[in-house]
């Protein structure tokens, strides 16, 4: 038994270390890829307009330094270089010359950059910026069409003895405005707090109470600087509802005892789930030992009363990155045992 653990342990330790290294590196790699994409789009603008203007393009390169790989098609060499920190399009005649005889030579070539009209050269030079603007517009249209998830304006949790708690804000309050500015989603709350003047109170206008008995309440909250986060905070968290809108892949099998998308959580480990405690109960889901109950509507009878059902979440064993620099990192030989729920998203 011990001998087998000795054989497995180094492998798991190595995997944990690799996961930890990857967790630190991937944000920088994504940043490099994003920067390279912007450069590619920019240089593509120069390239396309140069071709349209009849200029001979000798090289279209992404990155600088030694070429890693590339190919030649027609009169142009397409290359990917060692340093992905930029790129360039090399056109015939687009360079500075100490030897004026070479400049005259390129002026005689009808396909050189310097032989084109001022308008054509202006179009080629400005094409990169124009291409970036069009690319940004395209991305905006895609994101706007696909949509993005945002938190509502209802408060789900107030940190004890925080500025929000001392000002009298409560879980369930629906934030309507801050300093007179309308609030549409919870990210705007974070931005208003971060951008507010230090040590000056912020006026919150919230709606409180049930549907039959609502009142408008004003609270003045003075943010505090959080040295760990490096920004002003007041101790609020956005609300979730109890409806399940997404499940992990291990729960997608259509078993009757599994939860389904559209189910509403009503009880976890003997504790009733409400809109006020949903954040806390959600964090308990992966580890709860008691029963989990949901309400499920019959799709064929949408007006019928939902059925109360007990659901089961199967244990899952998964690799978990272990980071020795992170005190909250959990690992047993590089594994996290008994993950009862890998992922559940609540609208």
Catalytic residues, by residue number, are 43
Residue (of 329, 240, 221) closest to 285 by Cα position: 240
Q: The tokens of 184 are what?
A: 């549409």
End-to-end, the C-alpha distance of the chain in Å comes to 46
Range 32-36, long-range pairs (CB < 8 A, 24+ positions): 32/84, 32/85, 33/84, 35/84, 35/85, 36/62, 36/63, 36/84, 36/87
Residue (of 262, 261, 264, 313) closest to 291 by Cα position: 313
CA 233 to CA 223: how far, in whole Å? Answer: 5
Residue (of 156, 246, 172, 241) closest to 206 by Cα position: 172
| Distant-in-sequence, close-in-space partners of 105: CB < 8 Å, separation ≥ 6 | none
């Amino acid at each position: 038994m011990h001998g087998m653990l000795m054989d497995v342990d180094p492998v798991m330790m190595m995997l944990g270390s690799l996961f930890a290294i990857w967790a630190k590196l991937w944000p920088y790699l994504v940043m490099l890829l994003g920067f390279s994409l912007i450069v590619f789009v920019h240089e593509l603008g120069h390239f396309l307009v140069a071709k349209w203007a009849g200029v001979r393009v000798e090289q279209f390169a992404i990155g600088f330094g030694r070429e890693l790989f590339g190919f030649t098609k027609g009169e142009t060499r397409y290359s990917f270089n060692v340093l992905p920190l930029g790129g360039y399009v090399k056109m015939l005649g687009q360079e500075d010359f100490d030897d004026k005889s070479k400049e005259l030579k390129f002026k005689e070539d009808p396909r050189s950059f310097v032989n084109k009209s001022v308008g054509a050269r202006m179009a080629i030079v400005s094409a990169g910026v124009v291409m970036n603007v069009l690319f940004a517009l395209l991305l905006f249209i895609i994101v706007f069409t696909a949509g993005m998830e945002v938190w509502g304006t209802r408060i789900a949790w107030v940190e004890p003895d925080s500025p929000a708690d001392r000002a009298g804000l409560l879980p369930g309050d629906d934030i309507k405005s801050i300093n007179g500015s309308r609030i549409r989603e919870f990210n705007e709350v974070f931005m208003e707090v971060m951008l507010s003047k230090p040590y000056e109170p912020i006026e919150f206008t919230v709606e409180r109470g049930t549907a039959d008995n609502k009142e408008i309440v004003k609270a003045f909250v003075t943010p505090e600087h959080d040295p760990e986060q490096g920004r002003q905070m007041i101790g609020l968290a956005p609300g979730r509802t109890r409806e399940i809108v997404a499940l992990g892949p291990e729960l997608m099998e259509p078993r009757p005892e599994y939860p389904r998308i559209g189910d509403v959580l009503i009880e976890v480990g003997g504790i009733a789930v409400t809109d006020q405690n949903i954040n806390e109960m959600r964090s308990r889901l992966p580890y709860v030992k008691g029963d989990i109950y949901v309400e499920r509507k019959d799709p064929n009878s949408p007006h019928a009363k939902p059925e109360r059902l007990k659901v089961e979440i199967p244990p899952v064993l998964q690799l978990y990155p272990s980071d020795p620099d992170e005190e909250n990192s959990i690992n047993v030989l590089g594994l996290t045992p008994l993950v009862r729920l890998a992922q559940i998203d609540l609208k």
